[in-house]
Amino acid sequence: MDFDRGRLAWWAAAAVLAGVLAFTVYSFLGTFVLGVFVYYATRPVYRRLERWIPRPTVRAVVALVTLALPAMLVVAYTTAVGLQELDRFVDAQNVDLGRIETLLGPYLDVSAIVHDPQAFLNQPSVQEGLTATARDALGYVGLLGTLFVHLFAVVVVAFYLLRDDHRLGEWFQRRFTDDGGVVEAYARAVDRDLSTVFFGNIVFAFATGVIAAVSYGTLDAFSPAGIAIPYPVLFGLITGIASLVPVVGIKLVWLPLSGWLAFVAFQSGTGYAFVAVFVAVAAVVVDFIPDLLLRPYVSGRDIHLGLVILSYVFGPLLWGWYGLFLGPLALVFVVHFARLVLPELLAGESLSPDALGGDVSTAGGEQTAVSEFTDDPEDGES
């Protein structure tokens, strides 16, 4: 047989290296996906800072420190406090969660080091409170160290993508570009929609969380005796996080909270007017107005809303917690492949940016796309 043994050996080495890389990414898939999410969420801020901070390294650090790290810490703290409240509820009601309780057990133990801020401030001294927190944390050094390593990896992935994304794009264009321009059109479409979906949803979640926290806190300040909104700021933050799931996400928070307030009012025999006001404010100010005014401008206008909802629903069910970010990412890749590449593959024609699945027009140096996978502009949906 006439073959190049040297080239065959290099192909074998390439296969081994590709397998090692794939295994590494698969083992830490959640970390890499979260890093990509943080990159897209902070990239608009990174680019806006260019006029004030010319050095890319400093600009990337500022963008991550001012936006990404505080957001991740808030989410982590909110999750920890929520787990503690779940643990207290389970103990008080003597509820058996079965396997779910077994799965949540380690996280409930770790979240015990996060104390209620009010209880922390009521300590005889701040030093005593810090000592108690540190003593609890020492019992989970291993798990906390692992979480810190993953968080550090997320920051590193996002940092180098922010600083060197143009180099990665140039390398990709040199190595994989084609005469028809399909690869470049596909990469541009995917990049544009990932930026829109990720950054848009973060902005919407942050705005919704602030609106909800202020609304719940204001209502709680005027609540009658015997009925109050539990942890109004905490539930406001949870409302913002839940808004990542379009249409139904916010309702998953304020509807159960309304039911709880109605139950408390029924037990005490008073406070029905306050419950009605809470439902009105939550439905209109927290839910309807942000969804009507903000979401059309910040969330995935080029991807059909129904597909986005399905990606948020089935993503976590299929892949776990990081499916919340991996689901939309996979959706964007699949939709644009089906729009730009698949129709011409099936038709047996040469590939070009003007794919049979949709029309691509050039405006301002960038390619934009409209196809059957996008919402009808007359629908008014995003």
Q: How far apart are CA 37 and CA 154, in angstroms?
A: 9
Range list of β-strands (E), the chain:
358-363, 366-371
pTM confidence score: 0.66
Give 302's pLDDT tier (boundaries 50, 70, 90): low
Closest residue by Cα to residue 296 from 210, 190, 196? 196
- The confidence score (pLDDT) of residue 207 equals 79
Q: What is the number of alpha carbons within 13 Å of residue 219 lying toward its C-beta?
A: 30
Q: Which of 10-19, 50-59, 181-190, 202-211 has the highest mean pLDDT?
A: 10-19
Confidence category of residue 161, pLDDT binned at 50, 70, 90 = very high
CA atoms 346, 349, 350, 354: torsion sign:
negative
- Tell me the pLDDT of the chain averaged across its residues: 74
Question: Using DSSP, how many helices (H) and how many strands (E) does the chain show?
Answer: 17, 2
Q: What is the dihedral of CA 328, 333, 339, 341, to 10 degrees?
A: -170
Is-contact 285 208, C-beta < 8 A? no
- Of 62, 60, 65, 116, nearest in space to 87 by CA: 116
CA angle 246, 36, 237 (to 5 degrees): 45
Q: Say which amino acid occupies 91.
A: D
Overall size of the chain counted in residues: 382
Residue 220 has pLDDT above 80, yes or no: yes
> Please, what's the b/e burial string for 304-325 (b: 16 or more CB within 10 A of its CB; e: otherwise)?
bbebbeebbeebbeebeebbbb
Indicate whether 237 pLDDT > 70.
yes
